[in-house]
Amino acid sequence: MKNTLLMLSLAAASVPATADDRTCSPLLDLDVRRLAGEEVVNLCEAYQGKVILIVNTASKCGFTPQYEGLEALYRQYKDRGLVVLGFPSNDFAGQEPGSEEEIQTFCRLTYSVEFPMFEKVSVKKGGAAPLFERLAAAGAPYPKWNFYKYLIDRQGNLVDHYISTTSPQGGKIEKAINKLL
CA 20 to chain centre: 20
- 107 a catalytic residue: no
Domain ranges across the chain: 23-180
Q: What is the mean pLDDT of residues 102-111?
A: 98
Among 84, 93, 43, 47, residue whose Cα is nearest residue 66: 84
Residues 6+ apart with CB under 8 A from 171: none
- Read off the pTM: 0.88
Catalytic residue among 24, 44, 61, 107: 61
Residues 6+ apart with CB under 8 A from 71: 84, 111, 112, 113, 114, 115
Query: Is the per-residue pLDDT at 13 higher than 50?
Result: no
pLDDT at 10: 38
Instruction: Give CATH for domain 23-180.
Output: 3.40.30.10
1-15, 17-31, 63-77, 145-159: segment of lowest average pLDDT:
1-15
What band does 4 get if pLDDT is binned at 50, 70 and 90?
A: very low
Query: Is the per-residue pLDDT at 145 higher than 50?
Result: yes
Whats the size of the chain, residue-wise? 181
